[in-house]
Structure 1
């Protein structure tokens, strides 16, 4: 969800929560009303861009609606299975549960973004504006942090298995405490966005929900993008890459005894699942953060192609919130069995 600096000269770009990170043109992503900054998927363009981007206005609500329906159904199913099935109460599944909660919250409020997209203004008031912006940022940061913790956990499990050691402190209760600490950390990180989020009215008397930065707006705008890029991508992804590199190195260079040879089958499956979930996350989110770098270092014109790419990048990051349940169902036998058993109990 990001915001846009406003430039008195012109008004372009769309108004949706995740956008300023995706915009590839810092100068042209501004509107003409003072010193407010607003999210990237706003539906107000100048007249030329309105004609060029008309198809996007029709297609995007459909795409967002599909993501909302699939994501809400899938993540709710994941939450239900983990909470209800006794065999699903594992350390890894505790982190998966919190990851599903973050995605579920985002898909739950996505209809409000769709409504804003269609109405082309913000009719829902300042409180809901702060809620929507904060949930979107919660989704950005919490997803990568829970994946980072899952990667740390996998590294420790693999290391302990290779060395034939037990992990007495790796318990479901400990995972709950770690999860709570992550939510507290993410709340602290998101707090600046909550403070700056509000509803403003531009020169055309159109209400928008976004981030209202103090002067100098351009400095705060760039700072917010760098802040998100470093804390929401660079640091956690670097940590994950280092962990998996060390994990592969130890597996290749340490002699495994008969009990730890090639890891236990179940542990190996969980490790592969976490790796694939992480890979899908990076596939969906890396373009989003690369677009931030482009926006900070270049000045591309707002052509229909640039706008289309921006919308595609935003939609791809949204789509990640509905993909994980399919990965769990495809990769985790215990999840499929628990889900079927719960369905049988409800239908019998």
Structure 2
């Protein structure tokens, strides 16, 4: 009798823990997805209204925010599986979402690199900047990148390795067998390690050139205020830096599984995978903290939105009165 009571009690405790985990995980995924989409829509609205950024800069920054928006939209697909603990949408959509996630990550690092090159041209060829990097040129490059990258990754759907649904992640992943490991190592190298190395090199060179430019200004005006590295150079550099922080744990886990042929802990896999997803709303905070002009534009937009909502609510309140 006591054995049955202990067994029932243990089942109840495990059931409560499982329910708590499911509720917390689902709440986190839902809040993260909604906040990511809203934050990046707001980011695009602010970027379009800023006056201190060039037209090509705005195009590349909006493309980066659009990629982050689609990450939030894509993670919405994990809400239902998180609740019911299995994948109900079929294998084709599972394949497509995995490859779309890799494509969006690749697009993000490419647009960060484009922004670094854009800022580099601004500093080195300021007089020719508007002729070299026009809005039409930036739009053409962005559209071609979207078509090429997403097309390449979607072509991998039928030829990719097998997939499996992992309940603790609430999403599908590639299986870690011999075929899957080789595929993930190739994709990790081509879509992250090489592009992020190029992006980091671009921003290091950008900072060196910017500091030389500031030293040149200080030599011409020795008694003036000391120039500081700020504005768009700083905010896109920080965005790249935090992108590396967000993606490195996941890539390190993939490389570890491929080299050591050992499974990483489930808690680490959840942390590394969803850290990448949360990175899609970090840029809004980074821009606000590192660029005063962007922050002031965001404040004016928020005030306008709040003022408009107050105007809409006021007649309703007066009618009710």
Q: State the partner residue of 2:44.
A: 79
Tell me which of 253, 267, 279 is aligned to 2:241: 279
Tell me which of 80, 83, 98 is aligned to 1:115: 80
Aligned residue-pair number: 281
Query: Does the aligned pair in 1 maintain the 2:103–2:150 contact within 8 Å?
Result: yes
Query: Does the aligned pair in 2 maintain the 1:155–1:247 contact within 8 Å?
Result: yes
Instruction: Provide the C-alpha distance between the structure 2 equivalents of 1:326 and 1:201, rounded to a whole number of angstroms.
Output: 34
Q: Give 5+ residue unaligned stretches, structure 1.
A: 1-49, 203-207
| Deviation (angstroms), 1:198 | 11
CA distance 1:275–1:210, shift in 2 (3 Å): closer
Query: Does the aligned pair in 2 maintain the 1:71–1:107 contact within 8 Å?
Result: yes
Query: Does the aligned pair in 2 maintain the 1:199–1:209 contact within 8 Å?
Result: no
Tell me which of 60, 67, 70 is aligned to 1:102: 67
- TM-score of the pair, normalised by structure 2: 0.73
| Deviation (angstroms), 1:195 | 2.9
Instruction: Provide the C-alpha distance between the structure 1 equivalents of 2:288 and 2:46, rounded to a whole number of angstroms.
Output: 11
Check if 1:137 corresponds to 2:97. Answer: no
Greater relative CO, 1 or 2 (CA 8 Å, sep 6+): 1
CA distance 1:200–1:317, shift in 2 (3 Å): closer
Q: Give 5+ residue unaligned stretches, structure 2.
A: 1-13, 166-170, 312-321
* Stretches of 4+ aligned residues off by more than 6 angstroms: 197-202, 258-262, 264-267
Which SS does the other structure have where 1:122 is aligned?
A: coil
Instruction: Map 1:65-214; keep pairs closer than 5 Å.
Output: 65-83=30-48, 85=49, 87=51, 90-126=55-91, 128-160=93-125, 165-167=127-129, 168-196=131-159
Higher Cα radius of gyration:
2
Instruction: Provide the C-alpha distance between the structure 2 equivalents of 1:67 and 1:121, rounded to a whole number of angstroms.
Output: 20
| Deviation (angstroms), 1:193 | 3.4
| Deviation (angstroms), 1:61 | 2.2
| Deviation (angstroms), 1:321 | 0.9
1:97-156 CA-partner distances (Å, limit 9, x unpaired)? 111111111111322212112222222245543543343222221111111211222233
Which protein has the bigger helix share?
Answer: 2
Instruction: Provide the C-alpha distance between the structure 2 equivalents of 1:117 and 1:102, rounded to a whole number of angstroms.
Output: 23
Query: Does the aligned pair in 1 maintain the 2:96–2:154 contact within 8 Å?
Result: no
Q: State the partner residue of 2:202.
A: 243
- TM-score of the pair, normalised by structure 1: 0.68
Query: Does the aligned pair in 2 maintain the 1:71–1:104 contact within 8 Å?
Result: yes
Tell me the C-alpha RMSD between the 2 structures: 3.6
1:266-305 CA-partner distances (Å, limit 9, x unpaired)? 9841101111111111111111111111111113356xxx
| Deviation (angstroms), 1:65 | 2.1
Which SS does the other structure have where 1:224 is aligned?
A: helix
